[in-house]
Amino acid sequence: MTDFLAPVEETIAEAPPPQRGGGAVRYLLTKVGGAIMSVLMVVVLGFFLFRVMPGDPVTIMTRGRPVSGAQLDQLRAEHGFDQPILVQFWNYLVGLLHGDFGNSYAFNAPAGAIIGERLGPTLLLSGTAAVLAAALGLWLGAKTAWYRNGPLDRASTGVALVFWSIPPWWLGVVLLMIAGGVFPTGGMQSPDSPTALVPHALDVAHHMVLPVFTLVLAIYGQYQLVMRASLLEEMNSDYLTTARAKGLRDDMVRRRHALPNALLPTTTLVFLHLGMVVSGAITVEAVYSWPGLGQLTAEALEAKDLPLLQGIFIVLVIAVVIMNLVADVLLRVLDPRVRAS
């Protein structure tokens, strides 16, 4: 489940209503403006939210180690925790303006660099899973809608509902128990992964089998259900009746007319969700030790690594915002109803 809190049917309502003609630039500007404001709010929230979480970062840092009081104070001063909160906030803002998320103390490196390092694996995992899930979901959705109430529809829509109800991490744990003996159970590559491109890619692909399979099963269901619903809606439209009346073959009507139109809201949904997939993958990444952003989030929370948490939070939100914008633009560009006018 990508957007781990949104019910299936509602997600379709998130798609922006197609607006007709003119004002395209204005429309886009409003969207971009809103997005920027949201990001600004997140910048502020990110700073204070994680700071009110319990725990003294310095104590966590040195847990179980022989350290003296003076060393603790020294560490505290070094990370600026001895300064007033507003001064800390100001430093954080100034840092952000320079593109600096601060220094992660759990990894002793710039938070930005660490996040960058984890972004790739996450995009690879979530991206692959999203593409496969979308392909599977759209295809099954189209099939089930077309043959609605047929045995295929009944069986596969039922299965989709079941998978949609399964917590992804539980699916991961069960798959680990079943198939852990066959596929790699953790990580993205072997430590001695071959350096040549193709063998390396195969090694990574081998490690991806279980996590991707888990994620695909967890998210394809809602794409299928939404695709089925929107195709059914299209098929009830007047223009299809007209098309059929004109004597077009059924198959033709489906492929030329209903399908493209129904694909629109669903594809938009896929993009809207792409940004969410990253944070949704937290638990699956944890089960399979996937070195991505989701796992980094869990690690940062555990260490109460404030610079890292703030950075991740902002990056995740920006990802969602960008995907939303892409979805908006996509809809405007692709929707023939918008283009026609």
Partner 1 sequence: MTSPVWARRRAAAGRVWREFAANRGGLVGVVVLGLFVLTAILAPLLISESSLDVTRATGQRLESPSGDFPLGTDENGLSVLTLTLWGTRLSLVVGLAAAVLSVLIGTTVGILAGHFGGWLSAVLLRFTDFFLIMPSLVLAIALSAVLEGGAGTIILAIGVVSWPTSARLVRAQTLAVEARPYIERARALGGGHGHVIFKHVLPSVLPLVFVNTTLAVGTAIVAESTLRFLGLGSTSEITWGGLLRSASSSGAITYGAWWYLLPPGIAIVLLVLAFTLVGRALETVLNPKLRERR
Partner 2 sequence: MLVRRRLAGAVSVIALVAVTVPWVAGAAQAQGEKVLRAGITQDLDSLNPFITITRVGTDLTRLTYEYLTTYDPKDYRPVPGLAEKWETSPDKLTWTFTIRSGAKWSDGQPITAADPAFTLNKMMTDKAAATANGNFVQGWESVTAPDDRTLVIRTKQPRSTMLALDIPIVPKHVWEKVTDFKAEPPLPLVGSGPFIVQDYKASQFIKLKANKDYWRGAPKIDALDFVYYKNVDAEVQALQKGDIDLMSRLVPAQYDALKNDPNIKLNTGAGRRLNEILINPGAASADGNPIGNGNPALKDVQLRKAIALAIDSRTLVDKVWGGYAVEAAGYIPPGFAEFHWPEKRKFDPAEANKMLDEAGYVRGADGVRADKTGKPLRLRLLGHAGTNLDEQGSKYITSWLKDIGIAVEPQMVADQKVNDATTAGNFDLAFSGWSANPDPDYVLSLQTCASRPNADGKGATPDSFLCDPEYDALYAQQLAETDRAKRIEIVKKMQQVLADRASLVILGYDNPLEAYRADRWAPFTTQPSSGGVIMNQQGYWGYYSATPGRTTDADAPAEAQGGGGNTGLVIGLVGGGVVVVLAGVLAFARLRRRGTADERE
10 Å CB burial of residue 94 (0-12, 13-18, 19+) is exposed
Name which of 58 and 319 has its Cβ closer to partner 2. Answer: 58
Q: Which is nearer to partner 2, 53 or 93 (CB)?
A: 53
How far, in Å, CA of 188 to CA of 135, rounded? Answer: 24
Q: By CB under 8 A, is residue 54 in contact with partner 1? A: yes
Nearest distance in Å: CB 31, partner 2 = 30
- Closest separation between CB of residue 166 and partner 1, Å? 5
Q: Which is nearer to partner 2, 89 or 107 (CB)?
A: 107
Q: Which of residues 158-177 bind partner 1 (CB under 8 A)?
A: 161-162, 164-167, 169-170, 173-174, 176-177
Q: What stretch of H or E contains 284?
A: helix 282-287
Start-end of H helices in 79-196: 85-97, 111-146, 151-165, 168-179
297 binds, among partner 2, partner 1, none (CB under 5 to 8 A by kind): partner 1
- Binder among 24, 32, 36, 37 for partner 1 (CB under 8 A): 37
Residues near partner 1, by CB under 8 A: 1, 3-11, 13-14, 34, 37-38, 41-42, 49-50, 52-54, 161-162, 164-167, 169-170, 173-174, 176-177, 180, 275-276, 278-280, 282-283, 297-298, 301, 309, 312-313, 316-317, 320-321, 324
